[in-house]
Amino acid sequence: MPKVPINDPKHWRERAEEARTVADEMNEPDSKRKMLRIADDYEELAKRAEQRLRDRTRNPGVSE
């Protein structure tokens, strides 16, 4: 696991799952839609973290 949570895809995927769980419990459509958008945004952060990890593998001199 990366030292910094911002660089940890698992961290962001767990946040996304939490947001989806909250959305599933919501009854108000607009709030549910917003919470699902937050989950999507967390998934995007996970993808970016994965990219940073790949970049670091290619350039090991870059620190976290």
Task: Please tell me the pTM assigned to this model.
Answer: 0.81
Given this model, what pLDDT does residue 59 score? 77
Asked if residue 64 is part of any domain, the answer here is no
Asked if residue 25 is part of any domain, the answer here is yes
DSSP labels, 18-57? HHHHHHHH---HHHHHHHHHHHHHHHHHHHHHHHHHHHHH
Given this model, what pLDDT does residue 32 score? 98
Given this model, what pLDDT does residue 45 score? 97
The residue type at 29: P
Given this model, what pLDDT does residue 26 score? 98
Q: What is the mean pLDDT of each run of 10 residues along the chain (64 residues)?
A: 80 97 98 98 97 85 56
Say how many domains are in the chain. Answer: 1
Q: Residue 10's domain spans which residues?
A: 5-56
Given this model, what pLDDT does residue 1 score? 52
